[in-house]
Each structure stands twice: as structure tokens, then as C-alpha cells.
Structure 1
Amino acid sequence: MTDPVLMTEIWRGDILESMHHGHAVVCNAEGEIVHAWGDPDAVVLPRSSSKMIQAMPLVESGAADAAGLSEMHLALACASHNASAIHNNMVREWLSAQGFVEDDLRCGPQEPRDIAIRNELIRCNDPVCRVHNNCSGKHSGFLTLNKHLGGHAEYCEIDHPVQKAVQAAHEDLTQEPSAGYGVDGCSAPNHASTLQGMARAMAFFAAAREGNGTRETAAARLRIAMAKHPEYVAGEGRACTNLMRAMGHTVAIKTGAEAYFVAMLPEQKLGVALKIVDGATRASENAIAAILVKLGALNPTHPEAKKYLDAPIRNWDGLQTGVMKAGSALL
């Protein structure tokens, strides 16, 4: 086993104050490792970084087309969203169109990340609800797939037809048997894999082209939907949305809890999987930006890139007190 490598440094003045270590892998369309930092065989839960894999059965089964889902719906199915108006409205419309109600969702109520929406709920004394859960788009996709499959209501159970389809997609795309699963924040199972396995899966998404069979077409549609509609994948102010816009809506990236990140680069046909071992999101955002620059997908001079690379750290009075930068191994 290879130790994690230094990926992100936090400097205060000329003093190195904090360090974040991690593992990362880049694979090509053949599933071969092109670059690796740390341990490619480290087994990790990808958390929400695997949402496009979890959405594969929705598209591949024909359920998405039968339900008339748009690209925006597919992007939302892969989302960890802010619960902004565009997210909440689409989820409610999606549920209504398919004959579902909020209580059919198995993700729990969650306070919106969108501060304006949260404050409006407080002013109106309205309760936080399941639609506000950052995974409600994914769960709307699960409900749509479940309707297509004719399964019972508890679609998050590991032996439910929906979750069996998700596990099959996970194992096929990572080319590994599931290394076990944990229950995610939204109550759905989340399957673990090696970093190489996830990078291999992301490379498949990156290289997939519509018209090259059912699985490739489904993967390409999901990747394109994410890249074209990044505001549905995360939301304003979020690294996923900011960086996909900065890369011209071609590369698809997705964060996951506890500092996981993936990327799908269609021009280079490369997939990336990244994990910061201490779970620090600031470090995963910095490291994925550095890797995207290294692979030629992100311009380091772009204003959005500068938010995550050599990013200034400021105090409450606006004074720059330090900087966050990528470790030398990534440069």
C-alpha cells in the first residue's frame, strides 16, 4: 500500500499552517492508469461522486425516455444541489408529472444550502422538506426507475430492484465487484471501490459516444447533461458549477461528501477519481482544479480557476492572510 501524498497546502504568511493528503488516479479509455498519486488500490466510498453511475439504470432501462425526461432532469438526477428555486421547482414538477408526492421520496428533509430559500422558509414559518434534500433529484430518478420496473415503495433497500440495477452498473463500470457499501446521507446505498475502479468508470463516461450501443449512449447522455447544465448539478457558488462553466461546458465533474471528486474529460477520454483522506472539501476542490489544469482541461488563468488554485485566504476585514495552493506532486 502506498501512503497518501501531499495535495493541498494552507499557508498563513510564509508559514505552512495546514496540509491535506490524498489519493488520485487518472485512467484512459482502456482503463489503464495514466497518472497516479498515493494508492490507486485504496478502497473508498465515492459518496455523491457516483451519482452518474446511480443514474445509469434510469437512462439505460428506457425509463427516462418513457417519462419524457429532459437533459436538465438528467443533470438533476446526478446532482448534489443547493435547493435553489430551479432545483425545488423541477423536483416538484418531476414528481407531479410521474404521479408521485413528496412523501414518496426516501431522502430526509434537509435545510436548503441556498441561503435566500432557507431564510424565506424561516420568514414564512414553512418546514424544511424532502424536496430540499440535496439528493432529491437522484431520488426522483430512483422513483421514476422504480415505476418503470414495478418495484415496491422502499427503493433504498439493498435488495430492491432499483438498487440491484445500481450495483450491477457500479460493478460493470468500475470492473470490480462491490467492495461493500455504506448508507449515504440520503438513505441510499453507496458502493465502495478502489480509486482506480472509479477512475476507470469515469474514463468510460468520458469516452462514451451516443449511438455506440445502449450503455455508451446512456453514459454519454448523462455526461453531456451534467456539463451543459452545471447549475442543476450543484448551483451558484459551488465548485462543480463554477469549474464546468470555466471549462466551456465540455468536461463533467462531480463532488462527493468527505472530499471525494471525479472528472470526465471527453476530449482526452480520461477519467479522474480523487480522495482527500481527512475529508476536507477545500482540499478536494483545490486538488481537482490542479489535476484538471495538469490534464489541459482547465485554464489556470481563468477567474473561476483562481478561486481554487493559489486561492487567497482573507480575514473578516478583507485582508489577505494566506493562500491555498496545490502540493508540488500535483504540479
Structure 2
Amino acid sequence: MTDPVLMTEIWRGDILESVHHGHAVVCNGAGEIVHAWGDPNAIVLPRSSSKMIQALPLVESGAADKAGLTETHLALACASHNASAIHNDMVRDWLAAQELSEEDLRCGPQEPRDIGIRDELIRCNDPVCRVHNNCSGKHTGFLTLNKHLGGHSEYCDIDHPVQQAVLTAHEELTQETSAGYGIDGCSAPNHAATLHGMARAMAFFATAREGNGTRETAAARLRTAMAKHPEYVAGEGRACTNLMRAMGHTVAVKTGAEAYFIAMLPEQGLGVALKIVDGATRASENAIAAILAKLGALDPAHPEAKKYLDAPIQNWDGLQTGVMKAGAALL
């Protein structure tokens, strides 16, 4: 067992105020570790960082093409979105096209992260609904796959055909037997894996090419959809969207709750999995940006990169009081 390493430092003036430790792995297309920090064999729930794996059966089965899904639909299937208008409208239209409704979703109602949408609901005295859940795109993808498979309505049950297809994809791509699962914030099962296993899976997505068989084609389509349409994967002001734009829509990245982060780098043929052990999202955003810069995918001088690398910390009066820095091990 290897201890987690220092990944992010929070400085206030000349005083080191806080630190965040974590584990991270970079794999090549052969599943070999290229870089590692901390314990590659640490078993962690990847949370929403696994959404492209959860979406793989939707594409691989032919359900996505049968339903006429576009790249933006596929990006939304991998999303933890802000519940902005573009997300809500697409989920509603997608459900209607499948002759389904909000009531068929098994993700719970969630207050929109989009402040304008939230305030509009308050002004109109409208209730928060399941479409506003940040995982509603993933769940609409589950419903589309379920319609294709002919399963019963409780598609989040672990023994449901949808979740069994997800489990198969998870185990085959990580090349690990599932270490167990937890129930995610959206009520779907979320399978644990080692950091090495998740990095291996992300390297598969990174190196997958359309035309190289059904699975590679499906993986490449999902990765490309995420990278080309980052506003559907997260939304304005979010690290996933900002970083994918900063890298010229060539790299796909995805955050997960409790400070998980993954990246798929097709030009380098590399996959990344990262976990900050204390669950601090600010640290996972800082650390993934540092790793992407180290791997040559992200220009550290890009304005969006500077929001996460050597990022200034300001107080309520706009004064810079400190800075967030990547730990020396990542530089």
C-alpha cells in the first residue's frame, strides 16, 4: 500500500494553509502505467467519472442509432450538467421522442446548478423536477437502452439488463472484477475500481478508433462527442467544459463526485484517473489540470488553465489573498 501524495497546496500569503493528497495513474493503450502517484491499486468509486462507461452499452448495442441520437445526445448521456436550458430542453425532447416522460426517470429532483434557471423556477413557483437532475441525460440514455432491450421500468436495479450491461462494460474495460458498488446520488449503481483499472479503461477510450470494431467505434464516438460538445457535458463555468475548450476540443475529461477526475487523450494515446482522498473538488480540478499540462495536452498559459493552475484566491472585496498550486510531485 502506497500512501497518497501531496497534489494541491493552498497558500494564504506566504503561509501554507491547506493541503490535499491523492492518487493518480496514467496508462497507455496497452494498459501499462506510464506515470503514477500514490497507490495505483487503491480501490475507489469513480462516481460520475464513469459515465462514458455507463453510456457504452447504449451505443454498442445499436440502441443509440436506432433512436437517431446525435453527438450532442451522446455528450449529454455522459454529462453531469448544470440543468441549463440546452440540457433541460434536450432531455425533454429526447424523452418525448422515446414516448417517455419525466416520470420514467429514476433520478431524483435536483435544484438546477444554473442560477438563472433556478431563479426562474422560484419566480414562477415551479417545482424542481427530475429533468433538472445533473444525471438526467445519463438516465435518459439508460431508458433508451432499456427500450431497446425490453427490460422492466426499474432500470436502476442492479440485476436489471441495463445495469448488467453496464457491469459487463465496466469489468471488461477496467480488466478487473467489480470490487463492489455503491448507489450514486442519482440512484444508479456505481462500480468501484482501482485507479489503474480506471486509467486502463480511459486509455481504451483514448485509443479507440471508429471502424475498428463495434466496441472501439462506440467508445470513439462517445469520446469525440464529449470533446466536441463540452457545454453538454457540464456547462458554463465548469472545469470540464473550460478545460476541454482550452485543449481545442481534442481531449475529453470528466469530473466525478468526491474529487474524482478522468481524462482521455487521443493524440497521446493515454488515459488518466485521479482521486483526491479528502473529496475536495478544487483539488481534483487543480491536479487534473497539472497532469494534463505535464502530458502536453494543456497549455498552462491558457486563460482557462490559469483558473486551475496557480489559481489566485480572492476575498469578497476582490483582493488576492492567496493561490492554489499543484504539488511538486505533479510538476
**TM-score, normalised relative to structure 1:** 1.00
- Deviation, structure 1 residue 63: 0.1
Residue identity opposite 1:136 in structure 2: S
Partner of 1:199: 199
Q: Who is 2:131 aligned against?
A: 131
Percentage identity across paired residues of the two chains: 88
CA distance in 2 between counterparts of 1:87 and 1:292 reads: 27
What's the counterpart of residue 249 of structure 1? Answer: 249
Which residue of structure 1 lines up, in the alignment, with residue 14 of structure 2? 14
Note the alpha carbon deviations across 1:44-64, whole angstroms, 9 max, x for none.
000000000000000000000
CA deviations on 1:22-67 (whole Å, 9 max, x unpaired) are 0000000000000000000000000000000000000000000000
Matches within 5 A, 1:113-262: 113-262=113-262
Superposed counterparts of 1:245-324, under 5 Å: 245-324=245-324
Q: How far off is 1:247 after superposition?
A: 0.1
Amino acid at match of 2:204: F
Q: Secondary structure at the match of 2:39?
A: coil
Partner of 1:53: 53
Q: Secondary structure at the match of 2:59?
A: helix
Superimposed CA distance per residue, residues 175-227 of structure 1 (whole angstroms, 9 cap, x where no aligned partner): 00000000000000000000000000000000000000000000000000000
Distance in 2 between residues matched to 1:54 and 1:42, nearest whole Å: 21
Which secondary structure does the structure 1 equivalent of 2:24 belong to? strand
Taking the aligned partners of 1:315 and 1:186, their CA distance within structure 2 comes to: 34
Provide the secondary structure at the position in 2 that maps to 1:55. helix
Provide the aligned C-alpha RMSD in A.
0.2
Question: 4+ residue stretches of structure 1 with deviation over 6 A?
Answer: none
Cα distance, 1:20 vs. partner? Answer: 0.1
- d(CA) in 2 for partners of 1:261 and 1:7? 13
**How far apart in 2 are the matches of 1:119 and 1:225?**
30
In 1, Cα distance between equivalents of 2:84 and 2:303: 24
- Listed as ranges, the matches of 1:94-105 within 5 Å are 94-105=94-105
* Distance in 2 between residues matched to 1:75 and 1:236, nearest whole Å: 15
Q: State how far apart, in whole Å, the 1-side matches of 2:219 and 2:213 are.
A: 10
Q: Alignment length, in residue pairs?
A: 331
